[in-house]
Amino acid sequence: MTSDGHATSAARSFLHCEGALPCPAGTSPYRVKGEFWRQMAGVISHHDDKTNGGVTRVLEREGLAEFATRSFLTSSLYDVLPMPRVVMAVAEARSRDLRELTAKMGRASAESQMSGVYGNLMRAVTPDNFAARFGSTITYFYDFVPLTGEDLPGGGARLFCGAVPLCVAEWWSIVTGQFVDVLLTGHGASRVEVDWRIAPTEVERGVPCGTVTGDVRWTA
């Protein structure tokens, strides 16, 4: 495992995703905006076509096909716990590096949001106000725990999120890192780096959780 809390090998699963979901897909109290599930539906369709139904076969094997391919309303909230498993299914079916694929998908999502309904809100996050504004902006997209930020001595910011379901923590950190990069580079920053750390804590609402801390550095 690296210092950012991510596994070192091109493993087929995220950290803490080796076993079954803590609760059946669609039933957990940890939720994300339906817009992201709608984006995921497009990803599934695209890669399913490339693999002659390979993604669907993996989803069916894992018991996720019915939930992942249902209809989602853009502004409604839906269970987020299955989402990393869906990305794992795509990576398996396409024989892709899981974390590289996740980063690519996260960046596409961030860039899409910049030109969407939340674009003005996201563009209001700048290097000068990043620690104060990023957390409240990113949590428009999910409902489980707030993300806080504080300025670091010598520059940069520390992000902290408590009680994150462990089975989404690594996926969440990779995707959030792409949002960080898109927002900061959009205001002229360069060499953006995020050092993530994931620490298990306790079971909350029936789901093993932990803290996620990210130290963000960039060059103005």
| 211 part of a folded domain | yes
Q: Domain range holding 189?
A: 31-219
| 20 part of a folded domain | no
Reading phi first (left if > 0) and then psi (alpha if -120 to 50, else beta), residue 173 is in alpha
Task: Please report which residue ranges of 21-97 form alpha helices under DSSP H.
Answer: 34-50, 54-61, 65-68, 82-94
Q: What is the pLDDT of residue 4?
A: 39
∠ CA 122-45-108, nearest 5°, is: 20
Q: How far is CA 75 from CA 78, 119, 172, in A?
A: 10, 15, 19
pTM of model > 0.85: yes
| 183 part of a folded domain | yes
| 189 part of a folded domain | yes
| 83 part of a folded domain | yes
| 210 part of a folded domain | yes
The total of structural domains in the chain comes to 1
| 14 part of a folded domain | no
**What is the residue-level pLDDT of the chain in tens, covering all 220 positions?**
333 344 444 578 999 998 899 999 999 999 999 999 999 999 999 999 999 999 999 999 999 999 999 999 999 999 999 999 999 999 999 999 999 999 999 999 999 999 888 899 999 999 999 999 999 999 999 998 899 999 999 999 999 999 999 999 999 999 999 999 999 999 999 999 999 999 999 999 999 999 999 999 999 8
| 26 part of a folded domain | no
CATH number at residue 73: 3.90.1520.10
Q: What is the pLDDT of residue 10?
A: 54
